[in-house]
Structure 1
Amino acid sequence: MTNRHAVVVGAGIGGLTAAVALHRRGWHVTVCERAPEPPVTGAGIGLAPNALRALAAVGIDVARAIGGSVPEAMGVRRPDGRWLTRTGTADMAARYGMAPLAVPRPALTATLAAALPAPALRYGTEVTGVDDAEGRPAVRTAAGPDLPADLVVAADGIRSPLRRAHFPAHPGLNYIGETAWRTLVDAPDLRIPAMSETWGRGRRFGVTPLVDGRYYLYATAVVPPGTRFADPRAELRQRFGSWHDPVPALLDRVARLDPADVLRNDLYDLAAPLPSLHHGRIAWLGDAAHAMAPNLGQGGCQAIEDAVVLAHLLPAGERGDGRDTAVAAGLAAYTAARRDRTDTVRRRARRVGRLGVLRNPVVVAVRDLAVRATPARLALRGMDDLFDGFRLPVA
């Protein structure tokens, strides 16, 4: 093997993007994923212009690979259906050069996986630890043998075992006070033209048209962590069945699903930023590095940015000097480029989430009035640092 070797831990969107970006830089890449096979079901993901630009930088054209249809508008509503704010996606495309796309997660992961050599993907391979004391990591797997590497990309999710192992003093995760339900439904007869999120009192319901014609639905509610529900379909009906159209009709479709197709997770973010996004030859990205509340739709988008910037700042795949100081320098540059931006987004997502969990009726009325009073152009301008914030730093 003449090229540098990167082991990516986790075959989610961030991990696969990193693998593609490194592969195209000439690295030999191995992706270890403990799940036995790629996902075939799951929820959706919104790709904001910053994520679409980052993917394009490594040759992934999402619109061509999966589809390019976009909703007419996006905005926030009240449970009675009244719009608090609404922005046309044409206005977004004019401002940012492209409109956001919403795609099924399995379709995006399949697109990324298809850009890699088949032997690079090792499903059913659980990483149990990384030894990096001597400068060149050895990745331990449950099945063995160890994998020697020049770089380990820790894309092992919100509860990252590698984060806990290498940053033992970090406070870990913070429960943000909500649980979330997510699912996909077929409802072509409803012809829903807009992406919307409806804010109630401590409850939210989101509807996102996907490029394949289905709808990605998500809902949140303020509950104690660990709360269990006998039937997620019935729980959604009880909490949101009286809300505006088309929510009841969509819940009719949810009622026909297998309960296992309705995903439910308590929502957490990282309690504090990591002191560094790298340690030795290990780099963290996505939820493993900066888990954030989903309120800005930037969790996956920031993971994609991480992956592309990381590969850009690392040397090309041809092996260098014995100590390979260029890799160490690239990792330091990665932390410098990404730590502040991702923590800013994490903290902003937490602040926005506080608006959604308000339950006092007077405070909720004031919130809704303030949102309605904000001109759409100002609200859109407030997204500039997110949607127009992706830049490849000087390597």
Structure 2
Amino acid sequence: MAPSSRVVVIGGGVGGLTAAAALHRAGRQVTVLERAGSLDPVGSGISLAPNALRALDVIGLGDELRELAAWQGNGGLRTPAGRWVSRVDAADAAERLGGPIVLLHRATLVHSLAAQLPAGTIRTASAASLVDPGDTARPARVATADGGLEADLVVAADGIHSAVRRALFPEHPGPVYTGFTTWRVVLDLPGVEFAPHETWGPGRFWGTQPLKDGRVYAYAAAVSPAGRRAPDDERAELVRRFGDWHDPIPALLAAVGPEQVLRHDVHHLAEPLPAFHSGRVVLIGDAAHGMPPQLGQGGNQAIEDAIVLAHHGDDLAAYTAARLPRTTAVARKAIRAAGVGLTRSRSGIAVRNAAIAALSRVAPGLLLRGFGDIADWRPPQQPYASGKAPVRNPQEAPREGRLHRTR
């Protein structure tokens, strides 16, 4: 097929908007259909690793987001009592990974992507369903409450519980529960100093990271039956599970309101799909390869998907061939990482921590080797990055013991 001009993107999250921006840049006529009433995402942070930043360079957004984000500072892994299991030197990690890992509010990324699109491209409060995937002889058809749309290409970015995926691959078992639930919160925490960290306890972990605007992004996970919720509120549940852990966790929990805490059970696609396309429809992001969040690669892989899709145009078989093996490998690493980080065995925890501590002292590069294979990815296109120097570099990242603020 010749490159299509009419594209419908179902889903206005990170993957859908990156695809829309990349396809628009390629000369396509794009419509984004978002079910929610606005593009404002839930209050959470998102980390962008070098692989995703290189992908965003292709559409000219890499430098902008490097400036808007907090660059990963020196921190590491701790025990609930506060002992450091391992330390990470931000400059060394950036050198080994080929660039920094940065953190920003998800809303910042979404709004930057949306700004790449012409007015009227995005339709919010517009639930959509796939009526016909189309083929080489006819367009795909999508239904909305306002009527139907025909498209030469439909990009399904409708998440882990994707209705489009079910329509294309009805025999696939779909997402399964990972066995753990997560909490996220973004808040102000003035006057509290800390080093960025993750803390691993038996069957649960906590992370505290600074955002560039001075707020704090905290996230937690715990092994839990699916669907279980706190009998009172989720802040109280966090206090029960993490309130006696090291500083600054108690101070953060004291400052957060119950309405600020988001809780979601985590599902993933344990069985890879046979393909990421059918007819004129292509799946990206969690709809194609939902994975546990332990490597922070869910959104990053969606960004990669979008850029590779724009590169291959309507050769959807080439897109599947490029993306399915890579995302399957990344998802498997994320599953293994979740198992290591959330183990409840005391002996297993002791062995894990001792091994990580030893590697951190003797061969810190080995701790990054597995992630380096992920972060080293390069997009197939030449970047359109501005070339403008970032605000700061990894050597200027905040040192441990202080919350970096740039307001």
Give the TM-score normalised by the residue count of structure 1: 0.91
Match of 2:341 among 328, 342, 356: 356
- 1:365 and 2:364 correspond: no
CA distance in 2, matches of 1:362, 1:132: 52
Report the equivalent of 2:401: none
The equivalences for 1:277-288 within 5 A come to: 277-288=276-287
CA distance in 2, matches of 1:98, 1:207: 21
CA distance in 1, matches of 2:68, 2:194: 17
CA distance in 1, matches of 2:63, 2:221: 28
Report the equivalent of 1:82: 83
CA distance in 2, matches of 1:245, 1:291: 33
Report the equivalent of 1:382: 370
Report the equivalent of 1:301: 300
Report the equivalent of 2:215: 214
Structure 1 117/49 Cα, relative in aligned 2: closer, same or farther at 3 Å?
Answer: same
Task: Check conservation: 2:186, 2:215, Cα contact below 8 A.
Answer: yes
Task: Check conservation: 1:62, 1:68, Cα contact below 8 A.
Answer: no
Report the equivalent of 2:19: 18
Deviations along 1:55-113, whole A, 9 cap, x unmatched? Answer: 01111135457624324224221111112222111112223342111000011100100
CA distance in 2, matches of 1:17, 1:77: 35
CA distance in 2, matches of 1:62, 1:182: 27
Instruction: Return the offset for 1:361.
Output: 1.4
CA distance in 2, matches of 1:391, 1:84: 35
Task: Check conservation: 2:134, 2:280, Cα contact below 8 A.
Answer: no
Task: Check conservation: 2:70, 2:210, Cα contact below 8 A.
Answer: no
CA distance in 1, matches of 2:8, 2:218: 34
Task: Check conservation: 1:66, 1:103, Cα contact below 8 A.
Answer: no
- Root-mean-square deviation (Å): 1.8
Report the equivalent of 1:340: 325
Report the equivalent of 1:118: 119
Q: Which runs of 5+ in 1 are unaligned?
A: 315-326
| Percent identity between the two aligned chains | 50
Higher normalized contact order (CA 8 Å, seq sep 6+, divided by chain length): 2
2:183 is paired with a residue whose SS is: strand
Report the equivalent of 2:385: none
Report the equivalent of 2:259: 260
Report the equivalent of 1:231: 233
Report the equivalent of 1:148: 150
Q: In structure 2, what residue type is equivalent to 1:289?
A: A
Q: In structure 2, what residue type is equivalent to 1:359?
A: R
1:198 is paired with a residue whose SS is: strand
Task: Check conservation: 2:200, 2:341, Cα contact below 8 A.
Answer: yes
Task: Check conservation: 2:54, 2:378, Cα contact below 8 A.
Answer: yes
Q: Which runs of 5+ in 2 are unaligned?
A: 383-407
- 1:164 and 2:166 correspond: yes
Deviations along 1:303-355, whole A, 9 cap, x unmatched? Answer: 000000110111xxxxxxxxxxxx2xx21110000000000000110011111
Instruction: Return the offset for 1:134.
Output: 4.8
Structure 1 232/369 Cα, relative in aligned 2: closer, same or farther at 3 Å?
Answer: same
Report the equivalent of 1:324: none
Instruction: Return the offset for 1:388.
Output: 0.7
Task: Check conservation: 1:305, 1:390, Cα contact below 8 A.
Answer: no
CA distance in 2, matches of 1:66, 1:180: 29
- 1:331 and 2:316 correspond: yes
1:124 is paired with a residue whose SS is: coil
Number of residue pairs matched by the alignment: 375
Task: Check conservation: 1:192, 1:209, Cα contact below 8 A.
Answer: no
Q: In structure 2, what residue type is equivalent to 1:184?
A: V
Deviations along 1:133-165, whole A, 9 cap, x unmatched? Answer: 454434333313211111000000010000011
